[in-house]
Amino acid sequence: MLRGLFTGVAGIAFAAMLLATAPAEILKAFVPGLREANVSGSVWKGEAVFPQGLSADWTLSPLRSLTTASFAADWALGGVDSSLKGRVRLTSGAEILDVDGVVSIAELSHFANADFGACDLSARLSSVRLSLRNQAVLLEGKAMIGEGRCAGRDVPELQVVSEPIGGSSEILVKAAGAEGNAEVARVTLDTEGRTIFTVSPAGSLLFLDRTTTSDTVLEFGPRFMPSNS
């Protein structure tokens, strides 16, 4: 019995070693964000350079991979004005953990293929966790966005806090002002992949150049397709 157990453990360890030393290129089949990147190195330790100018590197964590039955690694993402680090765990879904650092909104928008025009805003992230499984997105953590100018308008300092609530995520955005922080937007990410934006009158004036007396609600289905509801 012990011999069989030893053989099984040795076989798993050998298979894991073969996978870890495989070319990093094979990760493109499992990580959608890497498909357009120039990838080098191995699954164990590699680097990806994205067309938008950002670069990422990672190092496999064998112990965490073994104890969580997943691909677990430490990673870092950098650009001209961005520097983030954290951990990742890949199983049937993806989980990005303990994200800390600073990211340029302009560099992030280019990475997401969105163009806000000239934008000098940056966000400082603290203990952010992002979980992706099927269509569900769970987001937890805090971000502080310093005041600046973006898309041709002045933007005050913004505080962003996200918390998981009943399987969904609720993101609260507050803007600094003379009378303290005012809620400008609330975003709900539900378990079916829907995204609901609730923009307050203060947020409508700030983001949409509209004067309203009530909240504006925008709902999108999975992958930001307009919802029929």
Mean local confidence (pLDDT), 87-100: 88
pLDDT band at 157 (very low <50, low <70, confident <90, very high): very high
pLDDT, tens digit, 9 for 90 and up, residues 50-84 = 887 889 999 988 888 777 778 889 999 999 999 99
pLDDT at 17 over 70: no
Lowest mean pLDDT, pick from 109-123, 126-140, 158-172, 174-188: 109-123
pTM as predicted: 0.77
More confidently predicted of 190 and 143: 143
Instruction: Give the chain as a DSSP string.
Output: -HHHHHHHHHHHHHHHHHHHTSBGGGGGGT-GGGTTSEEEEBSSEEEEE-TTS-EEEEEE-HHHHHHHTSEEEEEEEE-SS-EEEEEEEESSSEEEEEEEEEEEHHHHHHHTT---SSB--EEEEEEEEEEEETTEEEEEEEEEE--EEETTEEE--EEEEEEEETTEEEEEEEE--TTS-EEEEEEEE-TTS-EEEEE-HHHIIIII----SS-EEEEE-GGGPBP--
